[in-house]
């Protein structure tokens, strides 16, 4: 099949872009190197849209926050990622978490069944010199293509380390020590009956010993070319957080506030008392057999992980479906090299989408892929490109990537209300709701310009 546009990369952004283009009547060639003899340091298989870190798309039950608003906007635009995620959903309280295998299969099935999409398992080593193209190779871009991007942009690429959290088999967790509860008992209709997180409590002595173990544990060694690569705070390895201070973890991923340990009761606290610190695990698949250690991204070596994590109360006999890991992420200096429509300056037939642009997070990556697909469809149809209003979550994220951010300090960014045009005349307590209401109204006005753009 001849194609109208070539998409390089079968992650969330590439798949979302392919879907948006195909739904607008365009023939798409989607190239994915995994399954064609190549892989990356972080991927486990060759499925499209594989989730390599957390299985959570973050908050979904309340649209009065930026990522919840982004979910809403993507659903209004027939997002493949959001639809496939809904079908693969697992209980996670106010978060939208998915069974990662079911999610990947859902995305791949829909694309393979679409008559306008051709998926090719191949590695692309250089940017195409002509023809509409979307590069959505993500933070794990192959070295050869990365070098081609550097040559085309004239800018040194930026890089940071991303750490992956371990996954534990549910039946290896000692529930005589642990209990199920969500912080503040916050649950939704999708929640488990008692709560959505398994909690492993720690006394002060246990916590201090664990903290020291993180500091002393054997870490993954850097390669020479990685030595000066910084971490992204959103995926900071737990031992790097521990190095910031003895109490950092207790006010971060091991925060015990609102968790009443039913195994530790007194007449004064009949429902139990907050432990000194807590390790939380979140359901990772639909069967409930795998649980993710929340916030436990790590660069500890495998042996050190097993030894230390089995000192956590309730995990003495833990069996790990996956241990934590560390990989290097790569992204371009988008405010410098991309225009407002995600096109590469000096080579406007090429667009970039997803994490390689410097957005951070599954949903954000998919949203930029969605926008790249819509804009490319408008370009190919010879129509004016219609940008989402900056007052929307997608518009605010796009503006940050393509020019609002300071190029000299550009770093990966999750969507947040700090990216939105401010509403200084609205009382602070009402601003989130005001941001959301304004965004929804402006989105409705914009939708008519993007729903059908190609025959």
From the annotation, which residues make up the binding site? 9-14
Q: CA–CA separation, 242 vs 257, rounded Å?
A: 19
Q: CA–CA separation, 39 vs 136, rounded Å?
A: 15
Q: What DSSP line would sit under 337-397, residue for residue? A: HB-TTSEETTEEEEEE-GGGGTB-SHHHHHHHHHHHHHHHHHHHTTPPP-PPPTTSHHHHH
Give the list of residues 6+ apart from residue 300 with CB closer than 8 angstroms, or none.
214, 217, 218, 219, 220, 239, 308, 324
Measured distance between the N- and C-terminal CA atoms of the chain, rounded to whole angstroms: 17
From the CB of residue 266, how many other CB atoms can be counted at a distance below 10 Å?
8
Q: Quick check: 17 and 373 in contact, CB under 8 A? A: yes
Q: Quick check: 306 and 322 in contact, CB under 8 A? A: no
Burial class (CB in 10 A: 0-12, 13-18, 19+), 382: exposed
Q: CA–CA separation, 182 vs 259, rounded Å?
A: 7
Q: What DSSP line would sit under 180-206, residue for residue? A: E--GGG---TTS-SS-SEEEEEE-HHH
Q: Which residues pair with 158 in a beta bridge?
A: 331
Q: Which of 386, 395, 345 is nearest to 368 (CA)?
A: 395
Residue 448 Cα to chain centre, angstroms = 29
Annotated binding-site residue numbers for FAD: 9-14
Greatest CA separation for the chain: 75
Q: Quick check: 200 and 281 in contact, CB under 8 A? A: yes
Place of tokens 């393979």: 112
SS3 281: strand
Give the list of residues 6+ apart from residue 390 with CB closer than 8 angstroms, or none.
396, 399, 420, 421
């Amino acid at each position: 099949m001849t194609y109208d546009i070539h998409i390089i990369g079968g992650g969330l952004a590439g798949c979302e872009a392919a879907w948006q283009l195909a739904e607008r009547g365009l023939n798409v060639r989607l190239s994915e190197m995994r399954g064609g003899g190549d892989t990356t340091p972080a991927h486990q298989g060759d499925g499209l849209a594989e989730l390599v870190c957390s299985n959570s798309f973050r908050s979904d039950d309340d649209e009065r926050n930026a990522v919840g608003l982004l979910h809403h906007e993507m659903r209004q635009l027939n997002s493949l990622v959001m639809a496939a995620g809904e079908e693969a959903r697992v209980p996670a309280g106010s978060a939208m978490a998915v069974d990662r295998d079911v999610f990947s299969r859902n995305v791949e099935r829909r694309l393979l069944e679409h008559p306008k999409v051709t998926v090719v398992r191949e590695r692309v080593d250089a940017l195409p010199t002509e023809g509409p193209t979307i590069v959505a190779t993500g933070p794990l871009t192959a070295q050869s293509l990365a070098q081609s991007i550097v040559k085309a942009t004239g800018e040194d690429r930026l890089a940071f380390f991303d750490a992956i959290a371990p996954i534990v088999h549910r039946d290896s967790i000692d529930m005589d020590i642990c209990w199920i509860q969500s912080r503040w008992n916050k649950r939704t209709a999708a929640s488990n009956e008692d709560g959505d997180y398994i909690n492993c409590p720690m006394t002060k002595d246990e916590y201090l010993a664990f903290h020291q173990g993180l500091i002393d544990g054997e870490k993954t060694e850097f390669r020479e070319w990685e030595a000066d690569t910084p971490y992204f705070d959103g995926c900071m390895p737990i031992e790097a957080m521990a190095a910031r201070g003895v109490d950092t973890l207790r006010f971060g991923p091991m925060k015990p506030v609102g968790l009443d340990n039913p195994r530790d009761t007194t007449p004064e606290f009949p429902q139990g008392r907050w432990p000194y610190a807590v390790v939380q695990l979140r359901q990772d698949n639909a069967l409930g057999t795998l649980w993710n250690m929340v916030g436990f991204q790590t660069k500890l070596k495998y042996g050190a992980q097993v030894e230390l994590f089995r000192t956590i109360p309730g995990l003495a006999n833990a069996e790990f479906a996956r241990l934590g890991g560390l990989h290097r992420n790569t992204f371009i200096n988008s405010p410098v090299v991309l225009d407002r429509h995600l096109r590469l300056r000096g080579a406007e037939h090429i667009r970039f989408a997803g994490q390689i642009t410097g957005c951070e997070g599954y949903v954000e990556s998919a949203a930029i892929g969605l926008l790249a697909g819509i804009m490319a469809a408008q370009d190919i149809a010879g129509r004016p490109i219609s940008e989402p209003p900056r007052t929307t979550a997608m518009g605010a994220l796009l503006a940050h990537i393509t020019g609002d951010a300071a190029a000299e300090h550009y770093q990966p960014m999750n969507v947040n209300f700090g990216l939105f045009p401010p509403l200084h005349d609205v009382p602070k307590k009402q601003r989130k709701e005001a941001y959301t209401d304004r965004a929804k109204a402006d989105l409705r006005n914009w939708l008519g310009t993007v729903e059908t753009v190609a025959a």
